[in-house]
Amino acid sequence: MVRINQLHATLFPMVSMGAYPDLSDDDVNKIWKAMDFFDEHLRGKRAIDVPIVKELYGDQFQLLSNSNFTKGKWPTKRNTFLLKRTITIEKVESIKYYPLKYTVHLALDIPEWKGKFTSNRLETKIKATSIRYVHKEENEDWLKDKGADIWGDDSSSSTETKSIVTNKSPSVKIKDIKSIIMRRKLVVLEGVPGTGKTHIYESIKENFRHATFLTFHPSSDYSTFVGGIRPGENETTGKLVFNPTKGHLLKILNEAKKGKVLLWIDELNRANVPRVFGDLISLIGNKNPPDLHIPNVGLKNDDGDETLSLLPNQIKRLHIVATMNTSDRSVTPLDAALRRRFNFIRLHPMGEEELFKTDSKDNLRKIKDDITCFEQLNESLNENMGVDAMMGHSYLFEMSKFADEDSKRKLLWKFSILPNIIDTLLISQNFELINEINTIIKNNTGLELVDSAQDGVGKGLGRMILVKEVSE
């Protein structure tokens, strides 16, 4: 905490004032830094869900709804100003927007939000600097245009069913993911199960000359991924022999001599990744990889050399995409060396609007009540247990196959969706959430969760949560 506070003091020193000052060059630099901070930690998220915001700034910047500093007002006619800047990444320009008042208050550490601290007064100060901003036109819809990119989604919905701030990722569409994979080459798709991570493989593999699909597990090791001594059959005698054999990575690097290749690793963090990659981690993300002497992996040529020497095109053509389940608490965390080399993309459960866009046969629209119930459950799980407790939308696609069969959809709720929630509640020992969940599911599913301890039995290690039919 001391180090974080020192960092905050360095980046954004405390300013005491009774009104907005004229912005000096130093103030402008602080605002640019605050934009960087916003991009790194806050874009597409609620401030209250980002621990570092409270650690750096305290409660004043942990807004329950990232609105115009009061619930239900982002973005509306009262939000008339956004900061604007152009960022160039790999020679591609993109425009980013930032909530003007929030960003400036972050930069200058201004605790007051009312009185003389109005957006109109702040506009006059910004106007005198090199910082660009935009003014909302009367009929412009910032909610659709910029709101989702800044704060995740509309937290000002006036409908009876609230939107879930973290259940969508409108800024990361499949076409964008494909583009990032083709440009960045090393990508990890992370998120809760059922958010479509593995599905992306089917939509992208045709872009490569060769694609290999692997699933990591606790027994995955260096010998199968890179290479090692493996059993085989002598072609002449038919007897069992043990030969140095190339693994999946060396084989696909060989294919990369001929064209673009994709190595897809499902469930990356279920294996001990440093042990599986071994010394070849130094080749990943390295434009000028060193030659590596790797014995007994099938590299030996006629003169006995066992050195791996890669051509520039082999590294250039290699794309590695991995998926990572963020809700499984039994998996191995990734080390800094791997995180430094890969680009991480978070996939979120689809919301109703996104689901309906994929609904060519209108089956999802027929189960709108189920979708509403599912979204309310995800909202409750997110608010009470965090984003990794949520459920992926694949359940809803499965349910849409039985749009006209209520009994089969009920079976999915009873034996698939609710047991998943029960598992999460038991792991976290969050029995207090049962009543809230029952309020959501009873009317739609005809089911409820029952704590075995309510009957005075099953306490301690024997405590269970059961799914039962709602009594008439």
Query: Hey, where are the domains in the chain?
Result: 2-151, 174-346, 352-469
Cis amide prior to 274 (ω within 30 degrees): no
Query: Using one digit for the tens of pLDDT, what is the confidence trace for 370-413?
Result: 999 999 999 999 888 888 899 999 999 999 999 999 999 999 99
Torsion of CA 64, 65, 70, 72, to 10 degrees: -140
Q: Does the pLDDT at position 331 exceed 90?
A: no
Query: Using one digit for the tens of pLDDT, what is the confidence trace for 21-30?
Result: 888 888 888 8
By C-alpha distance, which of 321, 62, 79, 63 is closest to 216?
321
Q: Which two tokens stand for residue 470?
A: 């709602």
The C-alpha atoms of residue 164 and residue 371 are separated, in whole angstroms, by: 12
Predicted pLDDT at 151: 61
Please determine, looking at this structure, whether the domain spanning 174-346 carries the CATH number 3.90.1310.10. no
What's the whole-number average pLDDT of the chain? 78
Average pLDDT over residues 320-347: 79
Neighbours of 100 (CB within 10 A): 23
Q: Which two tokens stand for residue 369?
A: 């009540």
Tokens 């259940």 found at: 167
Q: Does the pLDDT at position 194 exceed 60?
A: yes
Predicted pLDDT at 15: 47
The burial of 413, by beta-carbon neighbours within 10 Å (0-12 exposed, 13-18 middle, 19 or more buried), is given as: buried
Report the percent of the chain where pLDDT is more than 70.
76
Cβ burial 235-247 (10 Å sphere, 16+ → b, else e): eeeeeeeeebbbb
User: Helices 418-428 & 368-385, crossing angle to 10 degrees?
Assistant: 10
* 98 in Cβ contact with 105 (< 8 Å): no
Q: Does the pLDDT at position 74 exceed 60?
A: no
Q: 237 to each of 242, 243, 298, how far by Cα in Å?
A: 14, 15, 21
The C-alpha atoms of residue 245 and residue 254 are separated, in whole angstroms, by: 13
Torsion of CA 63, 66, 70, 72, to 10 degrees: -130
Neighbours of 199 (CB within 10 A): 14
The shares of helix, strand and coil residues in the chain, as percent rounded to the nearest 5, are 45, 15, 40
* 35 in Cβ contact with 105 (< 8 Å): no
* 98 in Cβ contact with 35 (< 8 Å): yes
**More confident call, 445 vs 160:** 445
pLDDT tier for residue 338 given thresholds of 50, 70 and 90: confident
pLDDT tier for residue 68 given thresholds of 50, 70 and 90: very low
